[in-house]
Structure 1
Amino acid sequence: MKNHFLKYTFLGLVVLMSPKIEAQNKAEKVDELSIYRATPLKTHDLIHTKLEVSFDYGKRYLYGKEWITLKPHFYETDSLKLDAKGMDFKEIAIIDGKKSIPLQYKYDNEELSIALNRKYKRTEKYTIFINYTAKPAELKSKAGESITNSNGLYFINPDGKGDKPTQIWTQGETEASSCWFPTIDKPNQKTTSEIAMTVEAKYTTLSNGKLASQKVNKDGTRTDTWKMEQPNAPYLFMMAVGDFKVYKDSYNGKEVSYYLEPKYAPYAKQIFYKTPDMMNFYSKMLGVEYPWA
């Protein structure tokens, strides 16, 4: 009798608790759905991004010229939307052979909507030219609030006061590269790149891929051009400018360089000496040789 009583009591508790458990499971499912992040819809494919940039330390501005090559992902289209946060535009055109055809556009301070000169099929590439000014230090959100943690490009001690080094560097993750150049700022996009930076000749630059050329200009500046021949996501685009000393190491015939502020330069090998060993370790563990330049 006692066993039957306990059995029915237990069954009764299960029945009473079932609606609560079911409600809890539903709530958990809703929570799971609320954090789901779908792959961004692809209307266009990025192919190549060419940038020519210079910097105004006083205003914290980047002056840029961009040639961005794309193609429709699947359906033919006569319009293009690019992510571009807090920028001014001087010219937007499509390159047609040796001609440059001005294009109509709309801009809401975060997204650039461009009307193309005609419909393009998915087998057709086209190149857009954009002359622009990026003002990352002045960025505002749609609500009008300052964006303080995702400006994309940062001027460090641009006035050169005190002992802090004067530098420029970028941080694109997750969608902050569009604070300094127009792009489709989604991680499922991939593009090759060419980035030419004009800086004071005393500074060292660093960017994606290999340093392809350096040109000394008559005004005391130098233009460094970096080329990345393998497609990579826009959030991985990077630039660094500053008084860096370069220590060159190697791994499997590839240059491995360490960029340091002058006071740390004598200790480059002690700080970074394990880097080639780590590249070797992961190449063997993953079964994929380190693929980048």
Structure 2
Amino acid sequence: MRVGIAAVTVAALALAAGCTTDDKPNAGAKSAPAPSFAPGAPGAGDPYFPSYGNGGYDVAGYDLKLKYDPKTGRLDGTATISATATQDLSSLNFDLAHLTATKAVIDGQPATVKADKNELIVTPAAGIVKSRAFTTIIEYGGVPKALTNEALGDGGWMRTADGGFALGQPEAASTWFPVNDHPSDKATLKLAMTVPDGVEAISNGVPGTQSSAAGWTTWTWTESKPMASYLATVVIGQYRVQTTTHAGKPMIIAIPEFLPANSPGERSLAKTGEIADFLVTKFGPYPFDSFGGVIIDDDRIEYALENQSRPVYGNVFFSKGPDEIVVAHELAHQWYGDSVAVASWKDIWLNEGFATYAEWLWQEHKGERTVDQSFDRSYSGFNWGIPTGDPGPDRIFGDAVYVRGAMVVHALRKKIGDAAFFALLKSWPSQYSNGNASTQDFIAAAEKASGQDLQTFFQDWLYAKVQQPKP
């Protein structure tokens, strides 16, 4: 996130808080107020999921050194977490599910750890004052497993016959490392994952040098741009890893070894560079240091997810042949959802509405049907009873967010005109690059780009529960 009897007490308190006192008294100076140490909140206060994430600190980066044994399903390792206190902290929480922390150190001093369901409470030897940067090192381990959500589906670590993977939304990261598991606290990620020789471990970002010793291989990955925690992934197993270069950046595509060469999924992911280049013309420069994608052929994964720089696709999308549309959707998220992440889960239409609209743009680009035709097909017979801007926590993956969200985008285009609209498509991800934004932020940006008052427009298209007049 946080002195004699007067002078001695003040000095002791200052030193305990990591402060210093001036050895030359200044009679005219006022003493700083004593820190008000308190525990960080056990949730980030999201309106839909108030217990997700934590309060009291802001993470800059996670540095994970982990070892996974596919035979036993056990994961062990160390997480080094760099953060800054946003309040005077007496203790802080991390999200950690189904795993056990055995030791914690804060800035070299032992700290105590206590588990409370899926919360890990870390208490430092002395309070951490507001605005102080600090480093927490946590040793932990266990057999990871997914978190169950009856409405939204399981998310997190899932074991496979040849390895395992971490994947899910809105929460997943806490099943494999201690984390502030809410999109509002974006952070960089370094991962060194040690697995048996002959097993692959694919993650986000740029690959580093592999090293092997005593039958184990360590795969290293670095995502240098801040990332929402649910976008962190690792996929472990038997994969064909294809490493090439696109636009001067590494392109890593991983396909399960048992899938035949040139399978529909492989042909679809081969379009990653071409589709990304097209989206650059609409959204502006590609925001990350690498490209790629991973296919998981597992019956539990009936979705694709926009994991930062390396989307993960369930092979179900390619069961009937190549599918470029899903690739366009997940790549659009690299701008809308990843580089610019939601401020709260209520704002998820900013991710999914624009990614769905990118599907329409790609289809038009390929000569399949125009964006107007895609809009008309969606508009006809649509159920308008669920508001896009406030669908409710159980419907964040519903048509009101995806399809009506895309219709909101197209209606905005018709309202403000192509020049202002396409300028907005580029200025929005540029303005909030590597950060977070809300629906109100987008409305303000749209009004600035168009010079129009759009309050009534957005109120109707985002929140009204009746069909909107066709633009």
Fold in common (TM above 0.5): yes
User: Does 1:221 pair with 2:216?
Assistant: yes
1:164-194, Cα deviation, whole Å (9 max, x unpaired): xx23211142122101111111111111111
1:55–1:61 contact (8 Å) kept in structure 2: yes
Identity level (%):
23
1:253-288, Cα deviation, whole Å (9 max, x unpaired): 222222112344631763423211110111111123
1:215-255, Cα deviation, whole Å (9 max, x unpaired): 111x2111111111111011111101122112234321222
Greater fraction of residues in helix: 2
User: Does 1:54 pair with 2:49?
Assistant: no
- Matched residues in 1 for 2:147 and 2:201: separation? 28
**Deviation at residue 90 of structure 1 after TM alignment:** 1.8
Runs of 4+ displaced beyond 6 Å: 38-41
- Give the match's secondary structure for 1:223: strand
- Give the match's secondary structure for 1:235: helix
1:209–1:226 contact (8 Å) kept in structure 2: yes
User: Does 1:37 pair with 2:32?
Assistant: no
Instruction: In structure 1, give the amino acid aligned to 2:201.
Output: T
Instruction: In structure 2, give the amino acid aligned to 1:57.
Output: P
Instruction: In structure 1, give the amino acid aligned to 2:107.
Output: I
Instruction: In structure 2, give the amino acid aligned to 1:242.
Output: G
1:134–1:180 contact (8 Å) kept in structure 2: no
Greater fraction of residues in strand: 1
**CA 1:54/1:46 → structure 2, altered by over 3 Å: closer, same or farther?**
same
- Give the match's secondary structure for 1:283: helix
**CA 1:238/1:103 → structure 2, altered by over 3 Å: closer, same or farther?**
same
- Matched residues in 2 for 1:223 and 1:204: separation? 9
- Matched residues in 2 for 1:261 and 1:120: separation? 46
- Give the match's secondary structure for 2:183: coil
TM-score, normalisation: structure 2:
0.47
- Matched residues in 2 for 1:58 and 1:262: separation? 19
User: Does 1:154 pair with 2:158?
Assistant: yes
Q: Which has the higher contact order (CA 8 A, sep 6+)?
A: 1
- Give the match's secondary structure for 2:201: strand
Q: Unmatched 5+ residue regions in structure 1? A: 1-34, 158-165
Within a 5 Å distance, the mapping from 1:267-278 to structure 2 comes to: 267=262, 270-278=267-275
User: Does 1:91 pair with 2:103?
Assistant: yes
Within a 5 Å distance, the mapping from 1:255-270 to structure 2 comes to: 255-264=250-259, 266-267=261-262, 270=267
1:245–1:260 contact (8 Å) kept in structure 2: yes
Number of residue-to-residue matches in the alignment: 240
Equivalence for 1:121: 129
2:187–2:227 contact (8 Å) kept in structure 1: yes
- Give the match's secondary structure for 1:173: coil
- Matched residues in 1 for 2:47 and 2:137: separation? 36
Equivalence for 1:169: 165
Q: Unmatched 5+ residue regions in structure 2? A: 1-45, 291-471
2:111–2:123 contact (8 Å) kept in structure 1: yes
User: Does 1:239 pair with 2:234?
Assistant: yes
Equivalence for 1:13: none
Alignment counterpart, residue 281 of structure 2, candidates 273, 279, 284: 284
Instruction: In structure 2, give the amino acid aligned to 1:252.
Output: A
**Deviation at residue 80 of structure 1 after TM alignment:** 0.7
Structure of larger gyration radius: 1
Instruction: In structure 1, give the amino acid aligned to 2:251.
Output: V
**Deviation at residue 44 of structure 1 after TM alignment:** 0.8
1:2-24, Cα deviation, whole Å (9 max, x unpaired): xxxxxxxxxxxxxxxxxxxxxxx
The root-mean-square deviation of aligned C-alpha atoms, in Å, is 2.7
Alignment counterpart, residue 68 of structure 1, candidates 52, 77, 81: 81
